[in-house]
């Protein structure tokens, strides 16, 4: 069973990833995503590489909206 709080991150490389956001950091400008509950792998997305994030309710954020 995958968690309900999973998001989809579309990267500018045209790859998409899905998982739970584990860390937002303003200093290093990026997001740490944990894609699988069966693994400890986490993927770091520099903010500049993110095309958009799709949240569990279907809301899509991109560009300026990604600043928090």
Partner 1 sequence: MNNKIILLHLPIMNYIQKDFINEEGGYNPSLGIMALGTYLELNGYEPIVIDMCYERMKVRELIEKIQGIDPLFIGISVYTENFNQAIKLTQQLKSNIKGIKIALGGPHPTLQPMECIEKDTVDFVIMREGESIILELAEAIRTGERLIKYEDIRGLVFKRGGRSIKNKYKHFISDLDLLPIIKRELADAARYGGYINISTSRGCPGRCIYCSATTLSGASYRVRSEYSIYLEMLLIKNIWSEKLFKIYIVDDTFTAIPERLNNFMDLIERFDFKINWQCESRIDVMNELLLERMHKSGCIAVQYGIESGSQEVLDKLRKGINLDRAIEIIDATYKNNIIPCLSFMLGHYCDTKETMWQTAYLIKQLFEKYKAEIAVSYNTPFPGTFQYIKSKELGMNILTNSYEKYTLLDPIVETKNFTVDDQREVFYFCSKYVGHYDAIEKQMGGWTYVS
Alpha-carbon gap, residue 16 to 34, rounded angstroms: 13
If one asks whether residue 15 binds partner 1 (CB under 8 A), the answer comes out as yes
Provide the token pair at 45: 């997305």
If one asks whether residue 12 binds partner 1 (CB under 8 A), the answer comes out as yes
Q: Are 18 and 10 within 8 A, CB to CB? A: no
Distance from chain centroid for Cα 47: 10
Question: Rounded to the nearest whole angstrom, what is the least distance from the CB of residue 49 to partner 1 in the complex?
Answer: 9
If one asks whether residue 14 binds partner 1 (CB under 8 A), the answer comes out as yes
List of residues contacting partner 1 (CB under 8 A): 1-2, 6-8, 10-19, 35-39, 41, 54-58
């Amino acid at each position: 069973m995958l968690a309900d709080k999973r998001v989809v991150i579309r990267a500018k490389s045209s790859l998409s990833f899905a998982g739970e956001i584990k860390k937002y950091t303003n200093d290093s400008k990026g997001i740490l995503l944990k894609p699988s509950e069966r693994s400890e792998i986490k993927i770091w997305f520099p903010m500049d590489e993110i095309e958009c994030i799709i949240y569990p309710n279907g809301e899509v954020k991109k560009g300026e909206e990604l600043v928090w």
